[in-house]
């Protein structure tokens, strides 16, 4: 069963950076991509993009290229989302999500990133 465990909540000042981790278990990490999804307060779900966990190649959704960077540490089955130059509008819960065909769609528990001075 797909299990994704994310790092804890973060409080950052505008202009700072944050790195969110997502540790996978229950499947072969490098066989299926890790997606990232954002949910701003009171809003719906928004796809940020995905990273090919075999090659490390990232794909960013429209509006997320530049300050958002995906990375991996395959030795510990972990994906990372780093956001640079944080803005108040980046305040949201960030989820990692993985689809394992014929097995299901796993979600991390979410990481709340709060940007406030």
Q: Give the footprint of other proteins on this chain (CB under 8 A).
A: 1, 35, 37, 44-47, 50, 59, 61-62, 93, 95, 99, 101-102, 104-110
Shortest distance, CB of residue 111 to other proteins, whole angstroms? 10
Nearest to 22 by CA among 39, 6, 38: 6
CB closer to other proteins out of 47 and 67: 47
Shortest distance, CB of residue 114 to other proteins, whole angstroms? 16
Nearest to 23 by CA among 111, 83, 93, 86: 111
Q: What tokens does 41 get?
A: 């307060």
Q: What tokens does 59 get?
A: 């794909």
Shortest distance, CB of residue 56 to other proteins, whole angstroms? 16
CB closer to other proteins out of 63 and 117: 63
Rounded CA separation 53/97 (Å):
13
Shortest distance, CB of residue 15 to other proteins, whole angstroms? 28
In angstroms and rounded to an integer, the radius of gyration of the C-alpha atoms of the chain is 14
């Amino acid at each position: 069963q797909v299990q994704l465990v994310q790092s804890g909540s973060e409080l950052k000042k505008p202009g700072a950076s944050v790195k969110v981790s997502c540790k996978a278990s229950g499947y072969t990490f490098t066989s299926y991509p890790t997606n990232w999804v954002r949910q701003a307060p009171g809003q719906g779900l928004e796809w940020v993009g995905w990273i090919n966990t075999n090659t490390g190649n990232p794909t960013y959704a429209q509006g997320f290229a530049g300050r958002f960077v995906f990375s991996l540490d395959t030795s510990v089955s972990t994906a990372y989302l780093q956001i640079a130059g944080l803005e108040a509008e980046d305040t949201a819960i960030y989820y990692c999500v993985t689809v394992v065909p014929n097995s299901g769609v796993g979600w991390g528990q979410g990481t709340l990133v709060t940007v406030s001075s």
